[in-house]
Amino acid sequence: MTQENLMKRRMIRAIVLFLITLTALLVFIGLYIDECNRVQETYRTQFNSYLVKASSAIDSYMDAEGDLPLRYRRILSEVSSADSFAFVMTGLTEDQKRAVNGLHACLLKYPEQMQEEKRLLAMRTALTDMSQNLDKGFDEAADLVAAIDKKGF
């Protein structure tokens, strides 16, 4: 064995190891991207689930005769959960995230205004449209937030 043959073997071995490492890296990148997409789909499912739950909680609030504070806290809880998922989702625009966050903030800060029947109906319509992935739901939510008197109760 000459020095030249040894160097050729080492070079071939290095190239083979490089190709194996590159293939493994590409496989792991593909698995990472697939898992990120799967997680985002789970976030979307949970987001829609909480929007539907909030909508049904509004129906329960409007049909109930007693224990309205508990039913209002349930609405607040469901919208809060949807707001949390909205901020980790990559499929929503900043305006859409802001609309969901605005609903949550109004429910939290202005419960007297948000408990009015016309606002609850508007919020239920917006939540239903958002859960069906309609852009007009986010616009309706932004309009509802804009209609709240933020200087008073």
Domain boundary assignment for the chain: 46-147
- pLDDT for res 64: 78
The residue among 110, 80, 44 whose CA lies nearest residue 144 is 110
In whole angstroms, give the CA distance from residue 72 to residue 48.
19
Read off the pTM. Answer: 0.82
Measured on CA atoms in the order 146, 150, 151, 153, is the torsion positive or negative? positive
- pLDDT for res 153: 54
Residue ranges in the chain whose pLDDT is less than 50: none
